[in-house]
Structure formats: C-alpha cells, structure tokens
Structure 1
C-alpha cells in the first residue's frame, strides 16, 4: 500500500481538490459576486485576446493540414511492425464518443436559438440558414483541429519517443528538458487539471438541465435541481463502473453510445418528416460555410458576435484538449499520422455536422411551419430545456423521443467522462509507463471530484453567459501550453530527421 501511495503526485491531487472545494463554496455563498467576477474577467479577455484566440485556431488547422499532406504524414505512431489497435470503424466511434459529450445534442437542438436574435445573424438575408451555418463553423474543422493536432503529438510522445511519464507536461519535454521534472512540469500539469475542471463544469452545467427537464417531463414529479442531482449521480456511477472495467469495456460502451446517438438522429429525421428540408437547408449552410470560411475565421472587424460565440467555442474546445486528444493518441498506435488526421476529421465532422443539420433543422422547420413559435418563447425568456421538451411534444408519441434523447445524452456523457477520468488519473502519478493503468481508487476519486464544481454552478443557477466564461478564463493559459506542445512535437520530428 505504501509503495502505491508513494507513486502518487500528491500536489497534483490535493491542490486541485482543495481549489475546487473552495471555488464551489465561493459560488454557493457569494453567487452574485461570483457572477460579476466572471463577467469582468471575460470582458477583459474579450477585449485583449479575441484576435489571439482566432489566430490560434487558424494555426492549429494549418498545422494539421501540413501533417496530412506532407511527407510527415507517412510517420507511423509506433514501431514499423505495430498494427492498429482497433478496426477503423470502432476507432472512429471511440473518437467521436470520447470527445463529444451530451453537449453536442444540447447545442444541436438549441444553438440556432441562441444565435437568432444576434444582430450579426439578423443582418443576413436568411437568419435561420446563417444560424445553422455558424453552428457548423463552430463545430467544424478549426474546432476539431485542436483535438487532432494534440492527438498526434501525444501519440508520438507515447509510442515513438516512448516517454516514461503519461502527463500533459511530458509533451513539452523537447523544449524544457529536465525542467519538466520540477516546478515547470508541475505548473503545466496543474493548468491541465484546472482546465479539465472548467471543461467538465461547462459541459455538465450547460446540458444536464436539459436531461433533468426531460426526466421531469416524463415522470411528472420533482424539480429540475432535484433531477440534476439524481442524474449526475447516475452518470457518475455508470462512467466510473465502465472506466474501472478498462479499455475493452470503454470500447464496447462507445458502440452503445454511438448507436443511441444514431438512433436519435434517425428518429427525429423520420418522425418529424423533415428529410427534404434537412437536405436543402443543410446543403445551403454547408455552401455558406465553404464560401465564407476565411471571413468567418478571421473577420475584418471583431464584433460582439465573434467575442461572445467564436471566442467561447474555441475556448470550450481548448479546455477539453488536456484529456480527449491524449485518449485519441492513446488508441491510435499503429496508424500513420495522415491516417489519424484525415480519419479523425472524417469521423468528427460527419458526426457533428449530421447532428446539427438534423436536430437544428428539426426546430427551425417547426418554427417556419408555424407548429411552434420558438422565437416567441425565447422573447418570454423561457429556458432552452423547456423549449426543447416543448419542441419534442409536437411529435407523435413524443415520450419515445424523449427516452431516446435521454439514452443518447447519458451514453455520450459516460463515454466522454470514461476517457477523461482515465487520462486525468494518469496525470496524478509521478511516473506511469504507457503499459500501466492508474488504480481503480484513483479513477474513483476523480470521477467524484469532477462532479463537485458542476453541481455548485447548477445549484447557483448560473446563466449561459457566466457558465461559458468559466471555459474562456481557463482556456487562456491552456492555449499557451498547447502551443508549446506543438512546437515540442515539431522539434522532436526535426531531431528524428537528423538522426
């Protein structure tokens, strides 16, 4: 027992735990002051760093394209004789389900609602079409480039460089050398853990109320807060159980989650009878995205829409980059860099684009046909979860739709948190070889720890704007470390070439 305990890096366990407990208490005891603090910090970041976030996105996208379409793409992640760990189909499902939490469903259903009253969208000829266009942009190539670039870097670190530690900081060793074993490495790993705390808080706080509202609608008892507590406990128990069973169980559960997600899309597509509208509107949005991509990615004038949404989304994806790319890199042994880049783009973009085209157009179509006046409900400040459940009630036998929605959300929650619990547990050890797995107790500890801060945010009733601010604040230091990791990766490639 003493030997196992000696392997744990206590500072990387105790400091985040104490900080999370303190932050949760502050949010609960001083909710108004906490909101004001988040608003002020976000305003300063938007003022000073909006352009920085946009350029970081462009640079990561270009970097992945260089890897895919240059001789670097021929480099195998592993030894020459290594075979891929998983068949392409299962690998693709694991990528999507380990990176896309229930947020993809929540935003697919209501992101267009969030945009529709924005002046930038209202100024367009067809606001509904452009609200979908911006959704595809925010969940498109730039967003996925953050994951993909780091996944390649982490995979290279694990299976080519064969570093002896499984930590975020270890990817920076080519730049910092032995300094990574000291204070520099500690700071980088603490940034990673705090970033992941912010990511889980944002994810749970945004989409869990929808799951709670669905449960309340189906069972006609309880409050959203009560159901949020119950469902969070259920989700933690499920993903902890799967995580403890290991990668085989995680890969099987990812198939179940992916199937539930696919079933939801098929159900909405068929029952709403919106296939033709989805195809027409989806094609138009994709055309807009393709022809206006550069101006959307680097607008001539950074306005409030860019600061409120594009900066938020790049931040949202960045804070998840401390875990999900590590997981993708870990399951990509035996693949060439080009296969990882192009394969991840294919699976990632196919899943997110289908989700938004089908689920967003479901609401837009019902609004246009006059079946439900969503814009009127928005003007009355009706919450997004209530609007979404009301939207599903327009379908025949809507209870089945809500049950499938619940199953898909729980499945995606669990697969994402399976992967991040496994990864963050690895960060908690002083040394952990690639073939070693963290203890069950460590995974259990993080499974519970990750639920504390989101609960505090949910119980204080934070607004969407303030929840987003948590991700934006955490993303700033994390993005700097990500840049260092990319530079370190290319430095390793150059050293390999010289040998």
Structure 2
C-alpha cells in the first residue's frame, strides 16, 4: 500500500495546515490581523471573480442539462442507478451541507438584518427570507452539480484511475497533468478541502456546545465542550466510513429522517405554520423575480459591504466544498444520466435546503416581526448568535426535546458530510485508484483524524466569524480558476464522447 500512496500530495497540505494550526493557537491576535488583510484582497479587491464564476456555473448547469450532454449516462450506456432516488438524494443532500444548514436556517437573517442593504431594498419582513434562500439554492448547488457530472463522467464513462481534480483537467492540460501543473492543482485542492472542513466545523459546533450548556447547566467552557463535540463527531463519521458506502447510506437516511421530522414538528407544533408558509412562498417568488440582480450585485461604492461580507463569502465557501462534495455526488450517481443528476440534484438539494430556511428561518423571523422578541437588538448588543438561537428554540413547545433533537441532527449532519470529505481525501492520497476500488481503511482512518486538526485550532484561537470565513475565501480563489478548467475540460471531452458514440452506432 505504501508504494501506492502519493506522499507529496498527502503530507505537504497537512504540514501547511499544521503550521497554520500552531500559529492560530500560539498567536491568535496577530493571525487574525493578517487574515483580515488577506480577506480584504480576495473578498473585496477580487470579489467580482466569485460573482462571475457563481452566475456562470449556474448558467452552464442549465445549458448542460438541456443540451445533448444531458443524455449521457454516467457509466455504461445501459447501466441502471445503483441507489434509489431517496437513498441517492439523502446522501447527496447530507454530504453537501453539514450541520451549518441548521445554524444558518435559524440565524442568517439576524446577522445581516441591520445592514443598510436590507433597508435600501425594503423591510426585514420582505427580504429577511429572500437572501438565505438565494445564498443556499441555485448557484451553490450549481457548483456541486456541474462538477459532480464532470467527475462522474471522468470516473464512470472514461474510467480514469486517478480520482483527483487534476485528472478532470486532462482534456485541456494533457500530459501537463502528470507534471508540475497537476501537482499544483491537487495541492491546492487538498488545502481547500482542509480549509472547508475547518470553516464548517468552526461555524456550527459552538451552537452544539451552547445547547449542551443549556440542557445540562454545565460549567465547562464553550470551547472545551466544542472540542469534545468535534471528537465525538469524528468517532461517529469514522465508524460509518469504515463500513463503506452502506454505512454512509444508512447514516444519511437516519439524518434525513431526523431533519424532516424536526421540520414537520416545528411547522405543526410551533404555532406559526400559516406565517411560515405564506412568508416562504412570498420570499421564494421575490428571489426568482430578482435573481439576476441578486447574482450580480457587488456594491461598487461599498455603501453596505453586503456583497463582500455575505454573498462573496458564500460563493467562496461553496467553492471550497466543491473539492469533496461533487466527487462524492459523482461517485454515487453512477447509472444516472447527466440530466437526471442535475435535475434530481436541484429538486432534492434545493428543495430540502429551501424547506429548512423557510421553516426555521421564518419561525425566528415571526418572533421579530410580531414583537415577541427583539432578536436584532439582542444580536447588536451581545453578538452571541449561539445564545440567541437557543432562546429562539426555547419558544417552541417541548423545547427541551427540540434542543436534544437539534443536537442529534447536527451530529448526524456532520458525520455524513465528513464521511464524504474523508473518503475524497483518502482517494487523493493514492497515485492511482480504479473506479470500483475504495481507499484502504488505514488511509481513511488517518484522514478521519487529520480533518479535525484545524477546526480545533480555530476554536482554541477564539477566531471571530469574519476570520473563520476568511479561510474559505482565501482557499476558494485558486479553486474557482480550477473549476473553470474542469468545466471546459468536461465540455470538450463530452463532445468528443458523443461523436465517438455516434461513429460507433453508425
């Protein structure tokens, strides 16, 4: 096995991430200052790049779906899907979002409610539910699905034996993929994968720690509890991953049942069902009506900085996750056509995501608009968004049960998401890996453990939300360039494949 491992691709990113972890832990204040300066360059000066790539990839997903490319089967021409639509959709949804969806569903509108961008456009009632839908729907899932079909085509149609970003660029770069350029692409991809892991773990795990503090009235610090949660989650996803795709599928199904059960409970028992549904319908319509404007808003005069602080961060965040999630989605989509993969992905992925924001987001929004709670003022005063989410949940009947339910669901989300990340990272460690072959369990175990290093360092350094976001923005810039190469390569190779099949049939 040792001869098959690419130690350069495996170790260099880990050394870099390890170095960052030490710096964040030893010099938290200085590290935060440097990160802020780097964020300004990538997120502000180069912000237009993320906006262009975001809208461009979404439009390409529509083109691929409706064109002749949509008929291509990800596998042999007569191959059937390995998983049912529900099992496939469950793994796709849970691998791509992690527990962040619950954290942001309750709180996203609160964090930018006082931004001038909202008051410029109207009221928080009109726009509070629009931006979360926009930030988590068509463009983000477009990133995932376009790359998923590109990787699925590479793995299942062309039968390539290297499951890496660089291999997906071979139709354009040719033999350069085997040299310095290929190495650079893969190093950047693994670094981005680790950065995405750190971001998502660091954003939502403090909420889980706060729930535990609230439930059990423990006196241990939030930081300590957060690290314990990270370690427990690591154990869960490690156990699941080592049982292969069957274990991942079972955990994904459990996660989906927990998630939708929670959604239905809040909708039916929370006492705000009519408001939630009506506001959700109105927000979705407003998002569709204003989609192009929202997608191209950059705020050249920086009157609000909303685009730089939120939209650009989100596109960067999803770009970073594109190193792992699309590979996993492409892997489990064997036997489906490209059209089925894109449309099915949009239906299940966007549908489930929007339901989360409509129900949980509008529940908390109603508390604000009805005057029951002043969540905006509380956030401006304390900045403790985790405590605010707890106070929101405590207004739901049987709140203790709901808090436990949220906690277990978040652990399940994290576990299923990190199954896919650890699996993808394990594949990256191999010089060659056949389509039907899985990484050795020792390699998978190693990645399961290594993926928690940077998140723990970020938690210890008590990084602010802004600096945690910066990790994704930095890593996403080169990934955006590589994504363009991958899409270009796929279109070129798929066109060649269609011609080959046409010549063969004639």
TM-score bucket (shorter structure): over 0.9
2:205 aligns with 208
Q: Does 1:264 align with 2:262?
A: yes
Q: CA deviation at 1:308?
A: 1.0
Tell me how far apart the structure 1 counterparts of residues 123 and 279 of structure 2 sit (CA, whole Å): 11
Name the counterpart of 1:243: 241
1:68 to 58, 65, 69: 65
Structure-1 separation of matches of 2:25 and 2:125: 38
2:177 to 161, 177, 180: 180
Distance 1:192 1:300 in 2: 27
- Maintained 8 Å contact 2:170/2:177: yes
1:455-474 deviation digits (Å, cap 9, x = unpaired): 11111111111111110010
What displacement does 1:372 show?
A: 2.1
Change (3 A) 1:301 1:226: closer
RMSD between aligned residues: 1.2
CA shift for structure 1 position 100: 1.3
d(CA) in 1 for partners of 2:426, 2:282: 44
Q: After TM superposition, give the deviation of residue 300 of structure 1 in Å.
A: 7.0
Question: 1:463 and 2:487 equivalent?
Answer: no
Q: What is the aligned partner in structure 1 of residue 13 from structure 2?
A: 16
Distance 2:459 2:27 in 1: 14
How much has 1:367 moved relative to structure 2?
A: 1.8
> Deviation of residue 45 (structure 1)?
1.6
CA deviation string 1:58-80 (max 9, x = no partner) = 11011110111112211111112
Aligned to 2:328: 327
Instruction: Flag the 1:298–1:161 CA change in 2: closer, same or farther, 3 A.
Output: same
TM-score (norm 2): 0.96
Query: Which residue does 2:102 correspond to in 1?
Result: 105
Between the aligned partners of 2:326 and 2:139, the Cα distance in structure 1 is 14
* Alpha-carbon shift at residue 271 of structure 1 (Å): 2.4
Distance change (3 Å), C-alpha of 1:37 and 1:127: same
The one of 125, 128, 131 aligned to 2:125: 128
SS at match of 2:322: helix
Kindly state the Cα deviation for residue 390 of structure 1 after the two structures are TM-superposed.
1.3
Aligned residues between the structures? 496
Instruction: Render the CA deviation track for 1:2-37: whole Å, top value 9, x for unaligned.
Output: xx1111111112112211111111011111111111
Q: By how many angstroms is 1:366 displaced?
A: 1.4
**Distance in 1 of aligned mates of 2:45 and 2:373:** 41
Deviation at 1:198, TM superposition (A): 0.9
Please, which moves more after superposition, 389-398 or 32-41?
389-398
Whole-angstrom CA distance in 1 between matches of 2:250 and 2:498 = 39
Q: Does 1:225 align with 2:226?
A: no
Distance 1:317 1:198 in 2: 11
Cα contact 2:100–2:203 (8 A) shared by 1: yes
Structure 1 residue 238: deviation in Å? 0.4
Gaps of 5+ in 2: 501-506
> Which residue matches 1:383?
384
The 8 Å contact of residues 128 and 365 in structure 2, kept in 1 or not, is answered as: no
Q: Give the CA deviation at 1:287.
A: 1.4
SS of alignment partner, residue 129 of structure 2: helix
Are 2:125 and 2:369, in contact at CA under 8 Å, matched by a contact in 1? no
Alignment check: 8 A CA contact 2:168 2:489 kept: yes
Is residue 45 of structure 1 aligned with residue 42 of structure 2?
yes
Structure 1: how far apart are the matches of 2:381 and 2:347? Answer: 40
Contact 2:227 2:459 in 1 (8 A): no
Residue 408 of structure 2: aligned partner: 407
Where do 1:340-359 residues align within 5 Å? 340-359=341-360
Unaligned runs of 5+ in 1: none
- Residues 10 and 428, structure 2, Cα contact 8 Å, conserved in 1: no
Compute the displacement of 1:131 (Å). Answer: 2.1
Match of 2:150 in 1: 153
